[in-house]
Amino acid sequence: MKRDFFPRFVTLIALGLSMATVGAQELTATLFGRVTDPTGAVVPGVEVVVKNMDTGFSRSVRTDAEGNYVATYLPIGRYQLTVEAPGFKRFVRENIVLSVNDRVALNVTLQLGEIQETVTVTAEEVLVQQSPTISGLVSGRQMTELPLNNRNFVQLTYLVPGVSSALPSQVGFGGLSVISISVSGSRTSGINWLVDGGRNVDTGSNLTLFNYPSVDAVAEFRILTNVYSAEFGRNAGGVVNIITKSGTREFHGGVYHFLRNDVITAREPFRFTPPIVGRTSLKPPLRYNNFGWNIGGPVTLFGYNKSRDKTFFFFSQEFRRIREFTTPRTTVPTAAMRRGDFSGLPPIRDPRTGQPFPGNVIPSDRIDPNARIIVERLFPLPNAAAEGDPRFYRPTLPQPVN
């Protein structure tokens, strides 16, 4: 009884986690085709085995009376196709790459011979997609090798034909980011974002994602731009279907840290004074740290899954620490203005007489003492007069992100 507890426990947890995505959008691929002999005649009842080359997961199906086979709900990855039938050589096709939402046709022609003989096909050939859906795929390799600002994978959606951005200069992250892409000219709020089949869109705005997976945790994503099936539903603009990584039969992991600071950044083109009193640099301070780790592999607790081909895990965690300052420009009263001297500005009229003050200077006895205190306490003196106006003031305001 104890020996069976852990497999049953894992099964129970898996069923519980899957309840939220029962009937959800396609996360997998389909491989199908027809098996024939050298004369072109169909071969019914043949066993066809599809095996994942990274995890060891396999699925066995048989051809029907028309020689057709269909292997459905295959997780993305590299596969090996094996076909065996009495009187024919064993057929093996390796490195069949299946991506999310793929529907791939692969026909097999068996050669006469003993079953102990094997015909292995290793040459690359273009697999025929049998889906009317118009889509574009962005692979995990593209995500890790192409330059990304803030390591935000959303930027790579622009690689797919028909996708454009309404905010080309904004690259945010997390809750600070607004997702504003258009697919085939649709409204920017008409895109459905999915992560492993679950909806990932804030329905209040339709422009914010709940979760931004790390680029090291995303296996690939596909953007469906037109003629996609009803299973996706809800949004007419398009679908971004994101699939996260799965562990393999071996343990793999990584640690990373990306750093940026003001040593290698350029100063603002119109800054002529340091942003902080006592600081000689014309650039505001910046400390940008983006770090994280990930690990994946088989679940092998308590002797379970000794063959490492049943249950896998992948865990990723990413952190972002930013110490950044912004230096907006505004206008404040100069020291002369605080004394009532507004010379150089348009005439100020005396509300009692309607006549301009002599020299455009308000007499000190006409300035309310309480108003003077408020101005002195709330408004700093200008510090950016060199930028073109003696009233300019540039504060340095921290903008920390954790």
Half-sphere exposure of 178 (CA within 13 A, CB side): 12
Query: Would you say 329 and 394 are in contact if contact means Cβ atoms under 8 Å apart?
Result: yes
| Location of each CATH 2.60.40.1120 domain in the chain | 20-129
> Which CATH class, in words, describes the domain spanning 20-129?
mainly beta
CA triplet 221, 225, 95: central angle to 5 degrees? Answer: 40
What is the distance of C-alpha 7 from the center of its chain?
A: 33
Query: DSSP label at 252?
Result: E
Question: What is d(CA 273, CA 71) in angstroms, rounded to the nearest whole number?
Answer: 68
The one-digit pLDDT tens for each residue of the chain (402 residues) are 455 655 565 566 655 555 444 444 478 899 999 999 999 999 999 999 999 998 888 999 999 999 999 999 999 999 999 999 888 989 999 989 999 888 899 999 999 887 677 777 765 666 667 677 778 889 888 888 888 877 888 888 888 888 887 665 555 666 556 777 888 888 877 788 888 888 888 777 666 777 888 889 999 999 888 877 777 767 778 888 899 998 888 899 999 999 888 888 887 776 666 666 666 667 778 888 999 999 999 998 888 888 888 889 999 999 988 888 777 888 899 999 999 999 888 999 999 889 999 999 999 889 999 999 999 999 998 887 777 788 888 787 887 877
User: In the prediction, which pLDDT does 124 show?
Assistant: 60
Structure tokens at 400: 């920390």
- The pLDDT value given to residue 22: 43
H-run or E-run covering 331 = strand 330-331
- State residue 92's pLDDT score: 92
Homologous superfamily of domain range 134-244: TonB-dependent receptor, plug domain (2.170.130.10)
Distance from C-alpha of 173 to C-alpha of 28, rounded to nearest angstrom = 28
Helix, strand, or coil (residue 341): strand
Could you tell me where in the chain the CATH 2.170.130.10 domains are found? 134-244
Predicted local confidence at residue 133, as pLDDT: 77
